[in-house]
């Protein structure tokens, strides 16, 4: 596979605050690359630098062999950006919106019409193409937001948190669209702070925090980094602090994460120490509703690397 995106030592600062801190990242052609991180991790800034919307303070970004800083028009032609915020003209019809952006990518004549119809059909808005987005639901607007970015069949589609604030049905539709676009030949960068979404569609994942890429690899590779951990989720009401403190004192305890209604405990082996855990909880008269043992996931990895949850 060819390297489509190459970021070398990229830095972005706002005043004295470093938003992206010496980022090195390579994305291969044909990948669905999930960029995961909490809000403020530097995902959107990275995406904006790649799209040519923000200047790179230090380092370089190349797309398909072209420098983003030196050949912006060449790189922009190869990108379809689905921005985090809806960026559509509410007073113009869906068709007008898609057609306008398609024209800016150089499409004309019969090809323009064909690609616009294709894009609208792809996002399921063919029947509503003459309607104005102000009459659309949030999910439909999100889909139109996607249609505006794919008419020119870009090599790289960047989706910056495309599922923010929409219903589960539209979310599933968008996730399925991402897979379909990838099958059709586009490389996709998908940023989100929803671990489940990234885990569901990505072939490779990068995790950002504080402007730095703290982990990168396939999901299997990332899980292997926390292979020594098992997570036990205990659903219960009102676990007293004394019980949590006693759990933390267990010699094989890695981490204790209190939840709103329960607690997550991370151990080398949950089975081996399950009795100890139950003993502590019953001693403090905690009524347990359920116990779930899970394999380590991206959330576990993030927690392990940063000590914080993705949703913090």
Partner 1 sequence: MNLGTIVAFEIRRAVKHPVYLFIQLILPLLLIFILGTALDSVFTVKDEKLETVRVALVQQDKGEIGAELDKWLRLPAAADRIRLEPAASRSEAIGRLRNGTADFALVVPPDFSASVLRGGSAKWELIAGGDSGKNLAASVIFQSMLDRLNDRQAVSLALGPGLPAGQPAMQAATPDAGSSAGSFVKIGQLAAGKPYSAMQYYAASMLIMFLLYAGMFTGIGLAEEKERHTLARLHSTPVRPWHILTGKLTANFLLAVLQAVLIIGFTSAVMGVDWGASIGAVAFACLAVILFSIGLAVLVLSFTKGSGPMNVVFQLVIGVMTFFSGGFFQLPEGMLSRIGEFTVSHWAFQSILNSMLGRTDWQPVAIVGVIAAVFLAGSFAVYRKAGYYE
User: Under rule CB under 8 A, which residues in 103-142 are in contact with partner 1?
Assistant: 103-106
The H-assigned helical ranges of 18-123 are 43-50, 72-77, 94-104, 109-122
Q: Residues 279-307, buried b or exposed e (16+ Cβ, 10 A)? A: ebbeeeebeeeebeeeebbbbbbbbbebe
Q: Is the separation of the CB atoms in 85 and 148 below 8 Å? A: no
Q: Using CB under 8 A, which of the segments 96-104, 176-184, 235-243, 250-258 binds partner 1?
A: 96-104
Which residue's CB is nearer to partner 1, number 103 or number 225? 103
Q: Compute φ and ψ for 248, nearest 5 degrees.
A: -65, -25
Interface with partner 1: number of residues (CB under 8 A): 29
Q: Using CB under 8 A, which of the segments 74-82, 119-127, 271-279, 303-311 binds partner 1?
A: 74-82
The CA distance from 203 to 217, in Å, is 9
Site track for partner 1 across 145-174, x = CB under 8 A: ---x--------------------------
Closest CA to 153 of 118, 205, 123, 201: 118
- Residue 44 near partner 1 by CB under 8 A: no
**Helices and strands, counts by H and E, the chain:** 11, 14
The CA distance from 201 to 293, in Å, is 24
Near partner 1 by CB under 8 A: residue from 15, 16, 17, 85: 85
Q: CB of residue 50 vs partner 1: minimum separation in angstroms?
A: 10
- Residue 256 near partner 1 by CB under 8 A: no
The angle, 0 to 180 degrees and rounded to 10, between the axes of the packed helices 94-104 and 138-150 is 30
Q: Using CB under 8 A, which of the segments 52-60, 115-123, 258-266, 294-302 binds partner 1?
A: 52-60
Q: Using CB under 8 A, which of the segments 47-55, 164-172, 227-235, 271-279 binds partner 1?
A: 47-55
Near partner 1 by CB under 8 A: residue from 11, 18, 69, 92: 92
Q: Using CB under 8 A, which of the segments 31-39, 84-92, 171-179, 260-268 binds partner 1?
A: 84-92
- Residue 83 near partner 1 by CB under 8 A: yes
> Beta 262-267 vs 253-259: how paired, if at all?
antiparallel
CA 79 to chain CA centroid, Å, is: 18
Near partner 1 by CB under 8 A: residue from 100, 210, 250, 284: 100
- Residue 81 near partner 1 by CB under 8 A: yes
- Residue 89 near partner 1 by CB under 8 A: yes
Which residue's CB is nearer to partner 1, number 52 or number 211? 52
Which residue's CB is nearer to partner 1, number 83 or number 211? 83
Six-digit token string for 5 = 């995106």
- Residue 208 near partner 1 by CB under 8 A: no
Chain position carrying tokens 């590779």: 221
The contacts of residue 222 (CB under 8 Å, 6+ apart) are 205, 207, 215, 298, 301
Q: Compute φ and ψ for 181, nearest 5 degrees.
A: -60, -35
Strand-pair partners of 250: none
Which residue's CB is nearer to partner 1, number 78 or number 255? 78
Residues that bind partner 1 (CB under 8 A): 51-55, 72-74, 76-77, 79, 81, 83, 85-92, 96, 100-101, 103-106, 148
């Amino acid at each position: 596979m060819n390297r489509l995106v190459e970021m070398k030592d990229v830095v972005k600062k706002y005043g004295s605050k470093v938003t992206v801190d010496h980022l090195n990242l390579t994305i291969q052609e044909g990948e669905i690359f999930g960029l995961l991180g909490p809000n403020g991790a530097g995902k959107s800034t990275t995406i904006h630098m790649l799209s040519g919307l923000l200047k790179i303070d230090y380092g370089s970004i190349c797309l398909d062999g072209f420098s983003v800083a030196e050949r912006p028009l060449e790189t922009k032609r190869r990108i379809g950006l689905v921005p985090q915020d809806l960026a559509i003209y509410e007073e113009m019809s869906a068709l007008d919106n898609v057609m306008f952006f398609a024209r800016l990518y150089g499409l004309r004549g019969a090809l323009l019409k064909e690609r616009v119809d294709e894009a609208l059909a792809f996002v399921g808005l063919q029947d509503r193409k003459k309607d104005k987005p102000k009459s659309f639901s949030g999910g439909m607007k999100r889909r139109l937001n996607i249609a505006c970015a794919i008419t020119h069949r870009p090599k790289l589609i960047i989706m910056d948190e495309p599922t923010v604030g929409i219903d589960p049905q539209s979310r599933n539709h968008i996730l399925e669209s991402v897979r379909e676009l990838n099958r059709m030949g586009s490389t996709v960068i998908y940023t989100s702070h929803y671990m489940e979404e990234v885990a569901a569609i990505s072939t490779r994942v990068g995790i950002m925090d504080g402007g730095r890429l703290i982990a990168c690899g396939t999901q299997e590779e990332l899980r292997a980094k926390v292979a020594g951990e098992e997570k036990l989720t205990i659903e219960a009401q009102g676990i007293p602090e004394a019980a949590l403190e006693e759990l933390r004192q267990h010699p094989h305890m890695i981490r204790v994460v209190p939840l709103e209604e329960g607690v997550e405990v991370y151990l080398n082996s949950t089975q081996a120490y399950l009795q100890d855990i139950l003993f502590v909880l019953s001693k403090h008269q905690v009524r347990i509703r359920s116990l779930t043992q899970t394999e380590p996931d991206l959330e576990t990895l993030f927690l392990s690397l940063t000590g914080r949850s993705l949703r913090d």
